[in-house]
Amino acid sequence: MENFTPFTGLIGGIIIGLAATLLLWFNGRIAGISGIFNGMVTARRKGDTLWRFLFILGMVAGGVAQQNLIEHSYQPLNAPLWLLVLGGVIVGFGTSMGSGCASGHGVCGLGRLSVRSLVAVLTFLSMGILTTYVVRHVLGVL
Amino acid sequence: MAHVHKFKFFAFLAGFLLSFGISYSGMINPEKILAFLDVAGNWDPTLLVVLGGAAGVTLVTFRFVMRMPKPLLHHQFVLPTLTKADRPLIMGQVLFGIGWGLIGYCPGPVFSSLALGYTEPVIVMLSMIAGAFMYKWSHSSK
């Protein structure tokens, strides 16, 4: 467990929680990233697109700022193209069908004590663990 | 500054902060996500600390925010209306978990890493969009 980084993890997590608080407190919205993004791409409604774009733009800028100002820690997975495409398509399809990802169901849904979100979190966590197990220890790749 | 401009500003700010937190926590790295999901390998439990920290904040702050009659910059809170863990939620989250376990990217980190000069997050984002449209079309053709 030498790769365990609880201190930066906790501080980062608190910042994530505060960001979600800000969006609900000021704008009255749930900080669900897939929901905000889908509302701008697949389900556009007049007058409801610009703030979504600015939120995503803020996300892109936030990553650039953290990586350049504090620590350049990001490393791509260097996975083959077909795997990135397959994984991305499944994530996009699944988060649309399941109305949310780790931010909406995890950070905000749990904060709202939503049973639906708790079921979502337990489902994607267990499926993620199962999939990684099969890929790494049964098929022996990656 | 009119409310409508403040609304957009806070959308950007919340996105920036959320992404800064994702990046700072280490969750921007797909390898770190996979190290969490790989419980049978060299396990890295950091993701649990991040999620716990974030949900710990929202559990407290959302209680206070939701007691307000409305958010500061909008006439009402816009919240998810579904409360039951229905079939689409479970199916969608099963798929999301599989895709997540395959590539270690969920929507948040994709945007955090989008403009760091690597093509990998761009490929995953485009694939996510394709997946979201596939769901939209399969759903609306019924």
Mutation for A interface: B34, B111, B116, B133, most A CBs within 10 A: B111
A2/A30: higher pLDDT: A30
Say whether pLDDT at B72 is over 90: yes
Q: What part of A 13-72 touches B (C-beta under 8 Å)?
A: 13-31, 33-34, 37-38, 41-43, 50-52, 54-67, 70
> Any idea what the Cα angle at residue A117 is, between residues A35 and A1, rounded to 5°?
100
Check residue B4 and give its pLDDT.
79
Say whether pLDDT at A142 is over 70: no
Taking the C-alpha atoms of residue A120 and residue B85, their distance in angstroms, rounded to an integer, is 8
Contact between A27 and B32 using a beta-carbon 8 Å cutoff: no
Check residue A141 and give its pLDDT.
77
Q: pLDDT by residue (tens digit) across A48-91?
A: 999 999 999 999 999 999 999 999 999 999 999 999 999 999 99
Q: pLDDT by residue (tens digit) across B110-131?
A: 999 999 999 999 999 999 999 9
Q: What part of A 118-137 touches B (C-beta under 8 Å)?
A: 119-120, 123-133, 135-137
Per-residue burial over A42-57, b = 16 or more CB atoms within 10 Å of its CB, e = otherwise = beeeeeeeebbbbbbb
Exposed/middle/buried for residue A78 (C-beta within 10 Å: 0-12, 13-18, 19+): exposed
Taking the C-alpha atoms of residue A40 and residue A53, their distance in angstroms, rounded to an integer, is 7
Taking the C-alpha atoms of residue B136 and residue B142, their distance in angstroms, rounded to an integer, is 10
Contact between A62 and B23 using a beta-carbon 8 Å cutoff: yes
Say whether pLDDT at A2 is over 90: no
Q: pLDDT by residue (tens digit) across B6-49?
A: 999 999 999 999 999 999 999 999 999 999 999 999 999 999 99
Strands annotated E in chain A: none
Return the bridge partners of B78, or none: A29
Check residue B1 and give its pLDDT.
60
Question: Which region, left, alpha or beta, applies to residue B80 given φ > 0 means left and ψ of -120 to 50 means alpha?
Answer: beta
User: How far apart, in Å, are the Cα atoms of B117 and each of A68, A72, B50, B59?
Assistant: 12, 12, 26, 36
Check residue A140 and give its pLDDT.
83
User: How far apart, in Å, are the Cα atoms of A9 and each of A86, B23, B30, B54, B59?
Assistant: 29, 10, 15, 10, 18
Residues B108, B22 contacting (CB under 8 angstroms): yes
Mean pLDDT calculated for residue range A32-46:
93
> Any idea what the Cα angle at residue B86 is, between residues B81 and B87, rounded to 5°?
140
Residue among B32, B142, B73 at smallest CA distance from A4: B32
Residues B11, A51 contacting (CB under 8 angstroms): yes
Q: pLDDT by residue (tens digit) across B77-98?
A: 999 999 999 999 999 999 999 9
Q: pLDDT by residue (tens digit) across B45-63?
A: 999 999 999 999 999 999 9
A96: helix, coil or strand? helix
Q: What part of B 95-114 touches A (C-beta under 8 Å)?
A: 95-108, 111-114
Q: pLDDT by residue (tens digit) across A87-133?
A: 999 999 999 999 999 999 999 999 999 999 999 999 999 999 999 99
Indicate the average pLDDT of chain B. Answer: 96
CA A72 to chain centre: 20
B104: helix, coil or strand? coil
B137 touches chain A (CB under 8 A): no
Say whether pLDDT at B141 is over 80: no
Check residue A129 and give its pLDDT.
98
For the four alpha carbons of A76, A80, A81 and A84, in that order, the dihedral sign comes to negative
Residues of chain B in contact with residue A108, where contact means CB-CB under 8 angstroms, are 58, 62
Residue among A10, A139, A45 at smallest CA distance from B48: A10
Query: Which residue carries 């030498």 as its tokens?
Result: A2
